[in-house]
Amino acid sequence: MKIPDFTELTCTNLMVKLKIITKRMIQNEKLAFYSSREQFDNIKKPFSKNNFSLEGNKIDDNKYHVIIKRH
């Protein structure tokens, strides 16, 4: 399945999009996507608590492969 690339979204729009998507996730479901460094810095804290965990791997100069998991 193709990993969505959200790097072109603004940080605010990405945050809103992720909040909407993750609200529909079931336990142990994962969401993978690409983000920019700035976006990754913004989403780290809100998605590392309250039944979510987040990991991100830098794959390019300004690109992260991010996985959000619902617990």
Partner 1 sequence: MISFFFFFSEKISLERFDWILNCLSNFNLHNRRELNSINFFITGEAIYTLVDARYQKYWIQAISRLDVKCYVDSHEMQIIGIKQSDINKALTDKIIFLKIKDKLEFWKVFLEKNRDIKTKLVLGFIQFNGPYMHRNSVYSCNALEAAIYKGMKPELYAYLDGLHVGHRDQKPSAFLNVGQKLITLTENAKVKGLEFLMLGCSRCGKARGYAKVKQDESYYYSGDTIPSFYLCNLNEIVRRFEENHLIISPFFGGIQQDNNKELDYQASPPILIFITHGPYAYEWTFGGLSFAMACANHDIKTRVVFIEDGVYSLAGDQQFLQDEKIFNIQEMLNGISDIEDLYFYAYSPSLKMRNSSISSSIENIKTINAKELSELIRNTMKSTYHTRIMFF
Q: By the criterion CB under 8 A, which residues form the site for partner 1?
A: 10-13, 15-16, 19-20, 22-23, 38, 42, 45-46, 50
Whichever of 12 and 28 has its CB closer to partner 1, that residue is 12
The DSSP annotation for 20-50 comes to HHHHTPPTT-EEEEEE-HHHHHHHHTTTSST
* Least Å from the CB of residue 9 to partner 1: 9
CB 16 → partner 1: shortest distance, Å? 5
